[in-house]
Amino acid sequence: MQNSAFTRRVLLQRGCTLASLTATVPWFIEKSALGMLGDPALSSQPGVADDRILVVIQLGGGNDGLNTVVPFGDDEYYRARPTIGIRAPGAAAKDALPAALALDGVRGVGLHPALAPLKELYDEGIVSVVQGVGYPNPNRSHFTSMDIWQTGRLDAKGSGWIGRYFDNQCNGTPKPEAAVAIGRNAPLALEGDIQKPIAFESASLFRWNGQDLHASLKEPYDRLNRAGALTDPTRAATTPNQDETQTQFLMRTALDAQVSSDRIRAAVAKPTLVTYPGNALAQQLKIIAAMIRDGMPTRVYYASMGGFDTHGGQTGTHNNLMRQFSEALLAFQRDLKEQRNDGRVASMVFSEFGRRVKQNASGGTDHGTAAPMFLIGNSVKPGVFGRHPSLVDLDQGDLKHTIDFRSVYASVLEDWLQTPSSKILRGNFENPHLFVTKA
């Protein structure tokens, strides 16, 4: 059975069937017992495991794209941003602020100086910078634009694009833990009609608080919640048309919850292979890396970082944000490499919009439109892609996008997750092929 004909599609179908048939065995146990994860023999592509993972990193508040990937070669940039513009590499020092980081072989654009850790990854050839990403008739409301990005629809309605990816993979049977968000709320992007994501802020919160009240409660709690394993499956179905009663379903989920809580907390408690910075995004990525290392069956992780709504005095704030973001990313990538999981993880970074070309009167920038995205991973096509939008030909003071964000999604879906994108994105978006591997 273990030959190249055993494709990922077959695996997925098998995974679904098993999940729906077993009433009492927790999904985690069953997956690891069958050894269906991390077996390189199952890969259809040399060097790339078939159990690929996508990590989505959301920069909330509208990241200033023009000060992230800096178009220093365009004088118009400095005219529009006389005090907050980032000087060109090699240009005369100004206010002791560092200059943009030049990228080898790329003319006219460079990275924000605090993105040095990201540049390190870029120099290793595992970063793809996609310029000018946006969508038609841009919406400048945080809420609506974020919903547009998360649903992958211009009307911002309906399920999330990643949720639909899972809905399409698994006919009718959601896979618990397939999509995990580290944070208080699960993002709309992971919400499918069938697939429901789980979210938790930190591993220590993914547990019952009652045990803190008194030590004597822990044991009876465990017995009451782990009884699902003991339920006799032949006692099932007191009514027709259902393979599991409500109580059995709840007993099984409660057991699942206990097992995954144990497992996640044990995974996170292990010392990491690298040291992470203390910032919030780094701490989220640390949890994600621990779960990946532990062989969790999760295929999409979601992390997020806020504070990008820099309407005033943005230079210092944005500098900190860039530093935190890129340090977190570097630590994560180093950890994955140490784990030897760097080949099966790709990360995608986005924000709901960029910011106005012209700086405002408060040394900040207002809500704008198109902005760059980053893709990070061994399999991404390294380099800078797409045209940088013109700083002169503007739409109400904002950049005109040069690539639709749904095209980037199409590449992630088709080239990385190896699934056709048109049904998920409800339309055919040109695939810019941002990965070196192909389906």
Partner 1 sequence: MGNVFQPLPSKDFDYAAAQHLLNRAGFGGTPSQVRALVELGLDAAVDYLVNFEGERVSNEGVEFKSDILRAQTPEEQETLRRARIAKDTETIARLERERQQRQNEDRAQIAAMKRWWLARMIESGRPLQEKLTLFWHGHFATGYRTIENSWHMLMQNGMLRSRCAGNFAELARGIVSDPAMLKYLDNDENRKASPNENLSRELLELFTLGEGNGYSERDIKEGARALTGRTFRGNEYFFDKNQHDGGGKQILRRSGNLTGDDFISIILEQPACSRFIALKLYRFFVNDAPGLTRDGADMIERLAKALRDARYELRPALRALFRSQGFYARENRLSIVKSPTQLMVQTVRGLGTPARSVDRLVEAGDLMGQELFQPPSVKGWPGGRSWINTATMFTRQNVAIFLLTGRTNRGPASGTAEPYDAMHLVEHLRDASGALDSRECVRSLAVVALGGDPGHERLRELEDYLASVGGTINNERVQALLCLITAMPEYQLC
Q: Which of 58, 128, 131, 159 binds partner 1 (CB under 8 A)?
A: 159
257 binds partner 1 (CB under 8 A): yes
- Please work out the total of residues on this chain that contact partner 1, with binding judged by CB under 8 A: 56
With contacts defined by CB under 8 A, name the span among 2-10, 67-75, 83-91, 250-258 that binds partner 1: 250-258
Show the site string, 297-326: x = touches partner 1 by CB under 8 A, - = not.
------------------------------
With contacts defined by CB under 8 A, name the span among 99-107, 218-226, 344-352, 385-393 that binds partner 1: 218-226
351 binds partner 1 (CB under 8 A): no
220 binds partner 1 (CB under 8 A): yes
For residue 374, give every residue at least 6 positions away whose Cβ sits within 8 Å of its Cβ, in sequence order, or none.
Answer: 118, 127, 128, 129, 130, 347, 348, 349
361 binds partner 1 (CB under 8 A): yes
Token pair for residue 199?
A: 């979210």
Q: Which of 105, 209, 234, 271 binds partner 1 (CB under 8 A)?
A: 209
The whole-angstrom distance between residue 213's C-alpha and the CA centroid of its chain comes to 36
CA dihedral 368, 129, 412, 6 (to 10 degrees): -170
- Residue 417 C-beta: closest distance to partner 1, Å: 22
Burial of 35 (C-beta count, 10 Å sphere; 0-12/13-18/19+): exposed
79 binds partner 1 (CB under 8 A): no
280 binds partner 1 (CB under 8 A): no
With contacts defined by CB under 8 A, name the span among 13-21, 234-242, 382-390, 411-419 that binds partner 1: 234-242
Show the site string, 175-194: x = touches partner 1 by CB under 8 A, - = not.
-xx------xxx----x-x-
200 binds partner 1 (CB under 8 A): yes
Alpha-carbon Rg for the chain, nearest whole angstrom, is 23
Q: Which of 2, 4, 83, 216 binds partner 1 (CB under 8 A)?
A: 216
78 binds partner 1 (CB under 8 A): no
**What are the strands of the beta sheet with 69-70, ordered from one edge?**
69-70, 110-111, 101-102
With contacts defined by CB under 8 A, name the span among 66-74, 104-112, 249-257, 324-332 that binds partner 1: 249-257
392 binds partner 1 (CB under 8 A): no
- Residue 350 C-beta: closest distance to partner 1, Å: 20
Q: Which of 69, 111, 203, 251 binds partner 1 (CB under 8 A)?
A: 251
Q: Which of 33, 83, 157, 387 binds partner 1 (CB under 8 A)?
A: 157
With contacts defined by CB under 8 A, name the span among 66-74, 209-217, 283-291, 340-348 that binds partner 1: 209-217
137 binds partner 1 (CB under 8 A): no
Q: Which of 38, 89, 196, 236 binds partner 1 (CB under 8 A)?
A: 196
Q: Which of 2, 137, 234, 238 binds partner 1 (CB under 8 A)?
A: 238
Chain positions contacting partner 1, by CB under 8 A: 143-144, 147, 156-159, 176-177, 184-186, 191, 193, 196, 198-200, 205-210, 212-214, 216-217, 219-221, 223-225, 227-228, 238-242, 245-247, 249-251, 253-254, 256-257, 260-261, 360-361
